[in-house]
Amino acid sequence: MYFSHYNEDKCAIADITKMPSFFSDLIRDLSSTTFLAELENLTRIRGLLADPNLQGGGLHMTKRGGYLNIHADFTAHPIMRTWRRRINLLLYFNSQWDEGYEGHLELWARDMTTCLQRVAPILNRCVIFNTDESSFHGVPTPLNCPASITRNSLALYYYTESNLKVKLRSTNYQTRPNTSDRNLLIWIDKLLVAIFTRLKSNFALSDEMMSKVLKRVKRRKRD
């Protein structure tokens, strides 16, 4: 899948059957009851569930110039509507990553006043953090790596089940203070993402379908 709109520019594979066996086996291990038990011990969150559909997750690849604006993730699984999103796991596969390439994961304060942590995406580094309505993070600085190098990662999201439907909140993109971020464009793009999220939940649309639409839009812009 190819995601290119104002708030992000990256590629992804969420279909485990289309991945090399190493990655599909790794995802199965990180979705196993054994690993879930370890994750529950680490986070103190009981009843964690792995996502078999890898909604929004899977293998992510970002090319030179790619980015992901600061955001808080969607809070409810778009298909399993009683599933509340709780944990993000990011694992990096970049063996030679220079600081000058950028591509750092940024973790921001809940009031979006400051960046609290910048994490370089180096090989075998794993970042695990709670995700809620104000866990703001992203990769906002466009990659400055050579064209032959990409930023590669695995993203897995874990949930807990509720008795009732969880309120559906789409990805909430934010502007950073004292930067060139364009608030109006970020807001308009965020609104379009929210509309698609609602349509995806109500009509079982897929991210693959959205990817095809974005490809056509980008192709027309080039023409």
- Please give the share of the chain, as a percent, with pLDDT higher than 90: 71
Token duo for residue 18: 């289309």
DSSP H helices, the chain, are 21-30, 33-43, 183-203, 207-222
Q: What is the pLDDT of residue 101?
A: 97
Q: What is the pLDDT of residue 212?
A: 63
What pLDDT, in 10s, does the model give residues 156-177?
999 999 999 898 888 999 999 9
What pLDDT, in 10s, does the model give residues 204-222?
656 666 666 555 555 554 4
Which CATH number is associated with domain 2-212? 2.60.120.620
Rounded average pLDDT over 142-157 = 97
Rounded average pLDDT over 90-113 = 96
Average pLDDT, the chain: 90
Global pTM?
0.88
Question: Is the per-residue pLDDT at 22 higher than 80?
Answer: yes
Q: What is the pLDDT of residue 34?
A: 98
Write down the domain spans for the chain: 2-212
- pLDDT bracket for residue 2 (50, 70, 90): confident
Rounded average pLDDT over 52-80 = 94
Q: How many CB atoms lie within 10 A of CB 145?
A: 21
- Please give the share of the chain, as a percent, with pLDDT higher than 70: 89
Question: Is the per-residue pLDDT at 83 higher than 60?
Answer: yes
Per-residue b/e over 107-122, b at no fewer than 16 CB within 10 Å?
bbeeeeeebeeebebe
Token duo for residue 68: 């992901």
Asked whether the beta carbons of 156 and 30 are under 8 A apart, the reply is yes
Question: Is the per-residue pLDDT at 59 higher than 80?
Answer: yes
Q: What is the pLDDT of residue 182?
A: 84
